[in-house]
Structure formats: structure tokens, C-alpha cells
Structure 1
């Protein structure tokens, strides 16, 4: 193995992460150990595939870094054994040019990445840090006694703050308003609050106020009695009664019609409701969580949302950040969804190719976590290899392989390139260029000015000649 070049890594290592380095070159093992230890890692070494497997039986590292060329069983065979015994353990291969095709094939089967020799030490540290970040288990706060929000996959500080606030408010009966763009997980957070509350053993019911026609929404919420309207052939309990003792999530509350806002306010104030067509009032004990992607302050200013209802619902506000503001969660979420969907589609999928994961992490995500799930489901359904390739992710994201321009932009670009070509051809002679373009000089000058072209830039440089 060649000696890695020196260079500081910009990727901060996980504190004390344990790495297993496998190589039959004792000098290289010593050099890599020094380098990785200096970078903050704890390092074990092995001189062969057999020794590495024995080491894995003794203590499980968080990453294996192995040369491809080893005595006896080579690094590719070692990877096969690791994949069989420890499917989630990331492996990085170091390969010479002669074994690059084998290493490329190994990435199809789940190797995190490979580096060709001689490799850059900075690149090695960055790849190790990436592999550790992607394969790290969810923070302890998401396990054990914290399984109340186990379905909210995150390691971002923004989400941690929101969850800390949710934990405090869950113990009360205060009404909660969840703000956030569509697809950020407002319903998941509402379920988590219910799960931690004193109402956890009672129903949790969610209703999308914008998805039910206005004529039916009142009946859905408050119920009706037989004969209340033409199709009311039997008594019907509304969602408030169905959620008795538990939690009712009023999703997209900003889309609730004004007439129903008045009736909802009355129920919240008096804790009683009257089903459609009934003369009897019914007491209800329900905790209200509402959610919206709309700006309710703006809706109130435009008279579309009642201020008194807003203040009744908005005792505590929790805001969920868009996915673009918690990008550190994207690899974690993508791999979580992949594992979940691989089981659904009965496929053996080991993860995403590094470039595919990088593309996911830098995409715009206007649809937030919901859009990410849909993209992962599409690549999962279409993938024919264990490792999801970049091309499949680009296809799912509908990323064009060529630049798409509007007609006006295309005309503008063609016109400029056409003028540049003429001026190059005529060495900046405007009269000749205008004649070739079948335009008068005044018009040609106007076109050059439009595209900020100067004839002098196209005149040939004067060359020095000896007398």
C-alpha cells in the first residue's frame, strides 16, 4: 500500500469511534494507525482477512478500512464475510489500479466506497467521517425511555429543541398549534405529544379540515342525528365524540370555513357540542392539537381566520423546520426509509452510493420529509442492485441531464453565440460581420450593445517580428 499524503481533514470525527484497519504491510498499518489516532479515532489492526474476522468476533468496530490485496483471502472476500455477518458495518476498500474493476463491483454490492492508491489522506479522513455519520445509530434520546417520539428520525439541533418543548407541553392539557410546511411531520409530532400525555390510553384522531367538503365537515366533527338532512338515515357520532378522553388533531385548521370556525370556538369555550339536528348538548373532554402550513397572522389580517379562535388554539406554538434547514437528517431519514421499504418490497438493499446520498442531501426538497419518503420508495421499487445508484436518485428527483431553458432564454443564448461567432470570423470587423448577418451596421451595433460585446476583444493580437 502506498503512503497516504498528509493533510488535515475538515470532517470532524465521531468522538473516539473505533476503526479496524486491515493490511499485511506492517509499516502501512503503523502509519495509518498514527494518522487515524491523531484524527481522534481508536484503531485496531489486523494483517489478514482471517485475523480481521477474529478481531470482529472479539470487539465490533464502527468501520473497517481494508486493503484489497491481502494474503490468502483478499479484501473483497473479507467484505463478503463482513456483509454476511454484520450487514450494517461500513467498509472502505483501498485498491491499486489493477483491482479497480473489482472494487467498483464491490460498491454495487454494498462497499461504502473505495480509494485508489496513492490516495489523499484528507480524502480518506473525509470518507471515514461520512461513513461513520451515515451508519451511526440514532441518538440515545430516541431510544429507551424516549420512544414516545421514536418515529421522528432526527439528530438535528432544531428538531431537538422542538421535541424538548413538545415534551414539556405534552404533560399539560394546553391547546397546541403546530406550524410548518406541508410534509414536515406535523401529524407525527401530534401523535408523539399524545403518546407522552396523560391521555395516551385514549383515542388519537386526526382530521384534515381542508380535505373534507364544507357541507360534510360539520357533521364529521360534531355528528348528526337521524333525519338531520336528506342522507342522515341514522345517528352519527362525530370525531369529537370519537376522540372522547383523548386527542383530536385538526390538521390544516387554516382551511376551515368561517362559519365552522364560530361553532368550533363555541365547543372549545363551553366544552359541549350539539350534533346537527339535535336539541341535546353533549359534554366533551378532548385535547385539541391544531396544525397548519398557512400564515394564520396573514389570514386574520385578511379576515379569513377568526382572531378569538386563533388565540384559543394557540396557547403553545411549536414550529417544525423544513427539511432544507435540517440537512444533517437527510442521510439518516433516507437510510431509515430504505430499510423500511426494502422489507415492504422484499428486496435486499444495503444503502445508497456516496454520490447518490450526496445528491439527496443537497436537493431542494420543497415537499419536505414526505417528498423524501416518496423518492426513496421510487428508487427502492426500481433498484436492481443492492446499492442505490446516483442515476436512479436523479431520475426520482426528476433532475434533467440537460439544461432546460425557456424559449426566450434559448433565443438569447443563440443570438449571443451567433454574434460571437461572426465577430471571431471577421476579427472584430463590424462592417463585415453585419454584412454576413444581412443587417445594417447600426442594427448590428445595437445587438452587440445588448449582449455587451466589444469588437476590439475579437481583433487579433499584434505579434512582435524581428527586423
Structure 2
């Protein structure tokens, strides 16, 4: 949620409505500036920039839509919410497509208004100040969500011990980043943190990578090689994608964990190691055990403490924070002058599905960073990166009319222009069906044989005042 005390500029020429809005928003903890016209709003904007503008569409002189255009030109990242009467809904819908955060119809619902304001402010809220010194361990974990706060509190407690930790979560949720944070918060922080992806290294090489080998142990072993367990001695070893470890290596890993010593390939002696193990997986290890693909004794050795990472869709309040963090990081890396996302672009990011989680978000931000030609990343670029097609905004009436005509065309094609059959499929009598055809300017004869559908010759024989609905 947005922080209390945010500044909101309210614009309405109805004095009673202006007073009611000011009282409601003031009671919710916001600082309200109330004005009665677009001109007064622009003058107020020149004196003090608010964090959100709430405006009626119908205003004397310059209307709310013109005010929005002026605000967008001067302050592209400032969110605007419109209040509209039913007669101006089409204009408000069009404005939403152009970048208005949202619109509400009068009489508005008070709770919905506060919710929309909170959402808009959360999307455009600045990143929190740098973490205090005692929070430096989690500096790379960007989050403001309650779900992540609980997880990090558990991680901080676990870090103080040497207990093995199993991190669960979908691919891209940040398991390695959390493992690093646990290491930083642990007494082992000054010792190495080593990560290995057990599914990315061929089975023939994984044993050597983990446990090391002696010169001559196999054909390409031209020198002694320390394994990752030795490299992480005194520190932390992350076994990422542990569920993909081959069964034969699971046996050897279990022995190392039990004996706290490794025996390099080709060696007759074991070498003591002091390593804290964190493992991670996106797989269902219980199902893998049931299928005989993962050892039960190894599972319980690794799973002393389990931490489950939420998907990005389960922590949507973090998306604006992460997106802006990645944008500033990548803009610096590539030498680009980017200041942020347009409000509608940030809204699209926040509502996207994100099957690839934080990793996918990073990739999307990297793409828009590379392609943006303006300081503020536009909606079209975000949609392109998300592979979201542009959506044609229709009113409800227009969408209903379009569906009805396409439905009738489909029936006439299916029945080869036979009105009786088409009407029966539609569940209408023939008279009602003819009225629908007239309304949509469709002639059944044009659908017979090889004729092309969609001719515009209207059905005749009905009075103009006949009802077209049953």
C-alpha cells in the first residue's frame, strides 16, 4: 500500500462533491488540495507537484480530458484518475487507453475509490531508502511485500544456525539470491559462497566438480583439482536444482554430508570440509522420492529447514519496485538516460502473468531498456516485450454488436443461408431471427452456395419500429 500522507490534487467544479471528496480522502490520511477548474489545477501543479490527480471529466472551460493531456505533457509519470458521469464513459475509456490510470463512474463507491488511489500511488511510489546497516545482508532482495517480509524474517533466523536449508520455488523466483542473503546474514559471511547448478553440468563431470580429482584420475585429469566442497570450505555451498542430481551422485553426496569429508576422484584419502549446505529446487521432491528418483535419506538430510519462495504473481506489489530497480541498474550499465515507466506501462507490468517470475521481469526490462527512445518507457514497448497484442478498446455496446454480427454470420455460413435451420440453432423463431438479420444488414441468400458472406444488402419487409430483441 502507498504511504499515508501522499499529496492528492482533486479537481471538480461541484462544490459539494469537492468538499465530500476532500473529507473522504483527508479521513484516509491523504493531504488534499482541492480546486474547481482545470486552469486552477494547472496553477496548483506549478506551485507544488502532487503524487496523484483526481479529476472530474466535466469541468468549465477546459475539461478533465484536456487537463489530462496537459498533465501528461508536463508530468508524464504523474497518475491521473477520472470521475465520470455515464454520458462521458466512452471518453473516459478512450482516455484510459491513452494513459489515464483508471476512471470511476458517479456515483462512485468510496471503498473502490480508495483502493484505486492506493494502487496508483503504489505503482509510482519511490524506492525505499537504503537499508540500514543491520539490513545489509538482504540488500539485493528488492521487496516491500508482506509475503517476502515474512520469508526474510525466517531466513534471518535460519541464517544464525548451521542447519541445512532447502529452498523451494518456481524457476526465476530468486532462490540463489535468497541463498546469498542467508550466507551474508550467517557467521560464515566472510568465507566463500559457492553455487553449482546440479542440472547444468553433465553427470560425468559433476562428481569431479563437486569433490575434486587427482592428477591421472581420468584421461583429461592433467593436474590435481579442488572440488567445490573444498572451494567453499568454511563458507556456504548452494546445490541449485538438487532434484536433477543423478541417483549415483546422490549416494556420494549423502556420504560427504554424513562424514563431513570429501574424497577426490583418484584419491585414497578423505579431506575434511566444513561447509554449510543450502539446496534449491523447483521440482516436487516428494513425488521424485515416490518415483524412486530421489533418495529419502538424502532428502531428510537436506531438508532440515524449508523456505518457500512466492511467485512474482503472489507478490505483485513488488513489481513496480523491481521494474524500476532493474531499469536504473540496466540504464547505468548501458549508458542510457531512462527515468522510469509511464503509468500505463507500469500498470501493464503489474498485471502481467509472469510465468517466468523475477527472471522474466528482468529480461523484459532489459529489452525495453535497449529499445526505448524516450526517458519514460511507453506502454507499447512493454506490450511488445511481453508479447501482448495491442487491444482495441470498444464500448460494451460496440463489443456486443460486433459479437452478434459475427455470431449470425457464422450461423448462416454453417446452414448455407437456411434461415429456418439457423434460427433453430440460435434458439429463436424465424420472425425474431429475420429481425436480427435486418439489424445487422445480413441477407441469407448471399450465404448460399459459394457466395461470399457479409454482404451489406439489408433484409426487407420489416417496419423500422419493430423491436429487434425478443
TM-score, structure 1 as length reference: 0.73
Match for 1:429 among 400, 404, 420? Answer: 420
Please state if 1:154 is matched with 2:143. yes
Shift of 1:153: 1.6
Distance 1:191 1:363 in 2: 28
Deviation by residue 1:4-39 (Cα, 9 ceiling, x = unmatched): xxxxxxxxx74641427599x9x7997765443133
Count of aligned positions: 396
Aligned to 1:216: 205
Distance 1:390 1:17 in 2: 29
- C-alpha distance 38-414 of structure 1, shift in aligned 2 (>3 A): closer
Contiguous gaps of at least 5 residues in structure 1: 1-12, 48-65, 83-88, 404-412, 434-447
Deviation by residue 1:217-253 (Cα, 9 ceiling, x = unmatched): 1111111111111111111111101101000000000
Please state if 1:112 is matched with 2:79. yes
Contiguous gaps of at least 5 residues in structure 2: 86-102, 393-404, 436-461
- C-alpha distance 453-146 of structure 1, shift in aligned 2 (>3 A): same
Q: How does 1:338-357 map to 2 (within 5 A)?
A: 338-357=327-346
Please state if 1:456 is matched with 2:397. no
Aligned to 2:71: 103
8 Å Cα contact 1:178/1:320 also seen in 2: yes
Query: Residue 368 of structure 2 aligns to a residue in which SS?
Result: helix
Aligned to 1:378: 367
Deviation by residue 1:374-424 (Cα, 9 ceiling, x = unmatched): 111111221122222221111111123479xxxxxxxxx989843246879
Distance 2:9 2:420 in 1: 66
Deviation by residue 1:275-312 (Cα, 9 ceiling, x = unmatched): 11112210000000000001111111111111111111
8 Å Cα contact 1:100/1:116 also seen in 2: no
Please state if 1:419 is matched with 2:419. no
Shift of 1:322: 1.1
8 Å Cα contact 2:156/2:182 also seen in 1: yes
Aligned to 1:444: none
Q: Over the residues paired in the alignment, what is the CA RMSD in angstroms?
A: 3.8
Match for 2:220 among 227, 231, 237? Answer: 231
Q: How does 1:317-396 map to 2 (within 5 A)?
A: 317-396=306-385
- C-alpha distance 136-156 of structure 1, shift in aligned 2 (>3 A): same
Deviation by residue 1:26-83 (Cα, 9 ceiling, x = unmatched): x79977654431332244x599xxxxxxxxxxxxxxxxxx976359x9567568xx6x
Distance 1:162 1:78 in 2: 43
Distance 1:331 1:456 in 2: 54
Distance 2:3 2:72 in 1: 30
Distance 1:265 1:243 in 2: 17
Please state if 1:69 is matched with 2:39. yes
- C-alpha distance 104-15 of structure 1, shift in aligned 2 (>3 A): closer
Match for 2:157 among 148, 152, 168? Answer: 168
Aligned to 1:257: 246
Shift of 1:117: 8.9
Match for 1:274 among 263, 273, 276? Answer: 263
Shift of 1:314: 0.7
Distance 1:414 1:16 in 2: 50
TM-score, structure 2 as length reference: 0.73
